[in-house]
Amino acid sequence: MKVGRRETFNSAHRLFHPDWSDEKNLEVFGKCSNPNYHGHNYVLETWVEGPIDPVTGFVIDLKLLKNLIRTEVTDKFDHRNLNLDIDEFKDLNPTAENIAKVAWELISVKLPTQMKLTVRLWETENNIVEYSGK
Amino acid sequence: MKVGRRETFNSAHRLFHPDWSDEKNLEVFGKCSNPNYHGHNYVLETWVEGPIDPVTGFVIDLKLLKNLIRTEVTDKFDHRNLNLDIDEFKDLNPTAENIAKVAWELISVKLPTQMKLTVRLWETENNIVEYSGK
Amino acid sequence: MKVGRRETFNSAHRLFHPDWSDEKNLEVFGKCSNPNYHGHNYVLETWVEGPIDPVTGFVIDLKLLKNLIRTEVTDKFDHRNLNLDIDEFKDLNPTAENIAKVAWELISVKLPTQMKLTVRLWETENNIVEYSGK
Amino acid sequence: MKVGRRETFNSAHRLFHPDWSDEKNLEVFGKCSNPNYHGHNYVLETWVEGPIDPVTGFVIDLKLLKNLIRTEVTDKFDHRNLNLDIDEFKDLNPTAENIAKVAWELISVKLPTQMKLTVRLWETENNIVEYSGK
Amino acid sequence: MKVGRRETFNSAHRLFHPDWSDEKNLEVFGKCSNPNYHGHNYVLETWVEGPIDPVTGFVIDLKLLKNLIRTEVTDKFDHRNLNLDIDEFKDLNPTAENIAKVAWELISVKLPTQMKLTVRLWETENNIVEYSGK
Amino acid sequence: MKVGRRETFNSAHRLFHPDWSDEKNLEVFGKCSNPNYHGHNYVLETWVEGPIDPVTGFVIDLKLLKNLIRTEVTDKFDHRNLNLDIDEFKDLNPTAENIAKVAWELISVKLPTQMKLTVRLWETENNIVEYSGK
């Protein structure tokens, strides 16, 4: 049984490689490399897999999962600049892939070890990534 | 090839454990344990996996799948109180997990045995569960 | 300039007229008159019309509007039985029309008088009502 | 007859008043005043009202309206920092209200004068503004 | 008080003027003039305005409105070719504007005369029209 | 890590078997066999699975994936009649299943061989298919 919770956060970011020239960054990352940043309403769907607890009927209490997602990820990232304000992206390009990987790592260490975690991140309504760990 | 069909039903329910006090139920299930019930617009996405029939181009005729979902699940649950009106929840807490499991069991027994079934249930736009059987 | 805020609440209700027989209620209200209630994920869009404040650039601070909607309506109605738990529906049939009217009345008395209020309520994704006062 | 076209753009912004201290800006604008910016996936719905042309059956060719919206607004704002990169917000707080007003002004001057214009802007799925001119 | 109902239909159509050459039709209507037709999932939102009936709490019974929309419009248009199968478009270009106008006319004649009707039609998620009668 | 891109196309089609009578086609395919065609707004979600490139932070540049989907599938199918205008469906019934299979084949041959491809196709908001190859 899998249980999913949808949360959102609104952040600024830019994509670039610090060793590359502006021209090279523009060539590879296009308008996403605009030096003054742009931003997104990110949607983060967090899925946990495990057995149903026969007493509660829950895999995990969704209030707990909601609070965990907010504490570990969305409250930290929301209304922030991912490149400048978030430690994890100081040396890591905040692509949707890397944001999903960081979110997965921040949440998975707080979950009971037997629970399998998958995160799905919408950067726009057309661009989506999904990560389930190594 | 997987084929999915989306149906909806609107039901009242409450979460509680019959052996627990009101205080304990409130502590575990929060506002979901309100004794006078609350309700949801449930969305049920039912997925069937199998080969494409070379004559029709169908895995399963979606009209048949639609009718099966409605007859076995959504016509029974729609505009009902899950706790009081539905036999399956007389002794089973109607969490999203248990509703998905019951829906899976009601539909899977009516499908050809070689077809793999997955159900995905949205309780709200933010709370989702998915079940594929044992 | 109009400003809108979307909030949600999940409630149980039933439609019926207390002076009518069960048969008459079933005839008029159909499955919505089920005596054990059913429920919905209601979506409430609240619109306020007024001039832009030249200092803040706001018509109304959406944090204030959000808090007002939650305090006056959605925190009261959420995870409740509208017929049994909410005073306004003790003697008023909780149709979508009447819920929208009650929400409009609860919110409008708390707004500055020069601001025009409209509420739009989705009972399901297919059934919607809109009310702007008499 | 009204005709609407939906377009999107993704931008960074921050809300603040240049004459106010950081503390005052934080008090009024909350997390929206974060100095390093945040961002949104804006949705811009542009509505034009006029008679149906009896020859084409169009109020306005939606390809023309689409191109007008993109040339005048969304191509300029997309993947930009509204505060730093867009002239109109050099001295104007980029609230949803002011973005809608600017979009309305940029588009309306390019439309035939007899056509009435309304713009509706979603900053998030919960925060919306609508502007129809003076 | 306004009450809205959302229904859908899936139809083929093409846009063209019978007196024009293929080249002229292609110039004006672009790919929408493809001689072999294309198609859409149309969404029709039908709004009725009137007072709340104090006995039922309804403006109009949504079951009646749903049946009226289906009988007069969506059952006729669904899984049809608008140009070839629907009388109203034999000599009328089936633009979104004209489809909305025809739907309005078919529904409004069946409504009580004191009720004001508005129809909103989505041809795609980005292209919308709205019509409230002359 | 999986990366998904959503694109749309609007096409006419009909379902039928060329060796069957009209009556038999109507019996099996219902209103989908209307000889004059009907149509849909198809939504195609294309997912690619592979490792994150440590230099760019991408699994695949979504601009490349978007262009690949458009060149190979959606630009070809959009505003076309699938039965009459698209070679792949000259002798293949354009069910959602077969459209997904054809889209998978057209896109997968253009991807690096180590990348796993899945396509998900919505024919309507309620009917969905998913295909991952053999």
pLDDT at position C134? 79
The tens digit of pLDDT for each residue in E49-88 reads 999 999 999 999 999 999 999 999 999 999 999 999 999 9
Strands (E), chain A: 2-13, 38-49, 80-81, 116-122, 127-131
| Length of chain F, in residues | 134
Indicate the residue of D2, D6, D47 with minimum beta-carbon distance to E126: D6
Percent with pLDDT over 90 in chain B: 98
pLDDT at position B134? 78
C-alpha dist (Å) from residue A35 to A14, A77, C2, D78, D130: 7, 20, 33, 13, 31
SS (H, E, C) F34-72: CCCCEEEEEEEEEEEECCCCCCCCCCCCHHHHHHHHHHH
Measured distance CA(A10)–CA(A124) in Å, rounded: 11
Determine the distance in angstroms separating the CA of F10 from the nearest CA of chain E, rounded to an integer.
6
Determine the distance in angstroms separating the CA of B59 from the nearest CA of chain C, rounded to an integer.
29
Distance, CA of B109 to chain centre: 14
Q: Which residues of C touch E63 (CB under 8 A)?
A: 30
Size of interface C-D (CB pairs under 8 A): 53
Interface mutation vs chain A, best among B129, B130, B132, B134, most A CBs within 10 Å: B129
Q: Where are the domains of chain C?
A: 2-131
φ/ψ (deg, to 5) at F85: -100, -15
Check CB contact under 8 Å for E1 and C101: yes
Q: Given A13, A32, A40, A72, which residue is catalytic? A: A32
φ/ψ (deg, to 5) at C43: -115, 125
Measured distance CA(E28)–CA(A41) in Å, rounded: 37
- So which residues of E are the catalytic ones? 32, 79, 123
Residue (of F54, F56, F3, D10) closest to A25 by Cα position? F56
CATH number of the B2-131 domain? 3.30.479.10
Percent with pLDDT over 70 in chain C: 100
Tracing tokens 């009650």 back to the chain, one arrives at C102
Q: Is A32 a catalytic residue?
A: yes
pLDDT at position A134? 78
pLDDT at position E105? 98
Q: What is the pTM of this model?
A: 0.97
Q: Which residues of E touch F87 (CB under 8 A)?
A: none
Q: Is F79 a catalytic residue?
A: yes
pLDDT at position E113? 86
More confident residue, C112 or D99: D99
The tens digit of pLDDT for each residue in D36-74 reads 999 999 999 999 999 999 999 999 999 999 999 999 999
pLDDT at position F16? 97
Determine the distance in angstroms separating the CA of C133 from the nearest CA of chain E, rounded to an integer.
8
User: In A, what residues contact D, Cβ < 8 A?
Assistant: 8, 10-13, 31-32, 34, 36-41, 78-81, 84-85, 124-125
User: In E, what residues contact F, Cβ < 8 A?
Assistant: 8, 10-13, 31-32, 34, 36-41, 78-81, 84-85, 124-125
Q: Is residue A30 scored above 90 in pLDDT?
A: yes
pLDDT at position F102? 98
Q: What is the mean pLDDT of chain E?
A: 97
Determine the distance in angstroms separating the CA of E40 from the nearest CA of chain F, rounded to an integer.
4
Check CB contact under 8 Å for B59 and F30: no
Provide CB contacts within 8 A for D134, sequence distance 6+: none
DSSP string, B23-79: HHHHHHHGGGG-TT-EEEEEEEEEEEE-PPPTTTS-SS-HHHHHHHHIIIIIHHHTT
Provide CB contacts within 8 A for B86, sequence distance 6+: B76, B77, B80, B94
Tracing tokens 């960081």 back to the chain, one arrives at A102
Indicate the residue of B5, B57, B61 with minimum beta-carbon distance to F98: B57
Check CB contact under 8 Å for A98 and F4: no
The tens digit of pLDDT for each residue in B42-97 reads 999 999 999 999 999 999 999 999 999 999 999 999 999 999 999 999 999 999 99
Indicate the residue of F10, F32, F85 with minimum beta-carbon distance to E79: F32
pLDDT at position F113? 86
Residue A20's SS3 state is: coil
pLDDT, mean of residues E95-124: 97
Determine the distance in angstroms separating the CA of F129 from the nearest CA of chain E, rounded to an integer.
17
**Per-residue tens of pLDDT for chain F, all 134 residues:** 999 999 999 999 999 999 999 999 999 999 999 999 999 999 999 999 999 999 999 999 999 999 999 999 999 999 999 999 999 999 999 999 999 999 999 999 999 988 999 999 999 999 999 999 97
Bridge partners of C41? C10
Q: Give just the sign of the alpha carbon dihedral C128, C132, D2, D3.
A: negative
Measured distance CA(C6)–CA(F64) in Å, rounded: 36
Residue (of A79, D104, D93, D37) closest to C56 by Cα position? D93
Size of interface D-E (CB pairs under 8 A): 52
- So which residues of B are the catalytic ones? 32, 79, 123
Q: Is residue A115 scored above 90 in pLDDT?
A: yes
pLDDT, mean of residues D23-31: 97
Q: Judge residue A55's burial from the number of C-beta atoms within 10 Å of its C-beta, 0-12 exposed, 13-18 middle, 19 or more buried.
A: exposed
Measured distance CA(A48)–CA(A40) in Å, rounded: 25
Q: Which residue of D has its CA nearest to A75?
A: D31
pLDDT at position D23? 95
